[in-house]
Amino acid sequence: EAGVTQFPSHSVIEKGQTVTLRCDPISGHDNLYWYRRVMGKEIKFLLHFVKESKQDESGMPNNRFLAERTGGTYSTLKVQPAELEDSGVYFCASKSSGTGVLFGEAFFGQGTRLTVV
């Protein structure tokens, strides 16, 4: 079974440019999450999808960040325009919605390292 896959693994862009990160969750996982780790700090929650609906986007930093999950499969996270403080590692995770998995394990991808220069 394929794990959570994220593209690209690395991205270097200039301030003011646009970048789109992609996440392919584990097949059949309704829950999809985005997290971010900035400069060796803690990994912080950004948002949570259930299928194609945004369940919780309380962690999104500002309106320069736009997440979508059309069709309830893969998700994209667009940063437009990118700022220096957006640099960090963006993680995607997915989790099943089956019975008994309310506090279940979320499977993480390898992350996308974004550098804004």
Residue from the set 28, 53, 56, 117 that interacts with other proteins by CB under 8 A? 56
Minimum distance from CB of 45 to other proteins (Å)? 5
Residue from the set 11, 19, 25, 48 that interacts with other proteins by CB under 8 A? 48
Residue from the set 40, 63, 71, 100 that interacts with other proteins by CB under 8 A? 40
Q: CA–CA separation, 111 vs 34, rounded Å?
A: 10
Using CB under 8 A as the binding rule, whether residue 34 contacts other proteins is answered as no
CA distances from 87 to 37, 41, 61, 101, 108 (A): 9, 12, 13, 32, 19
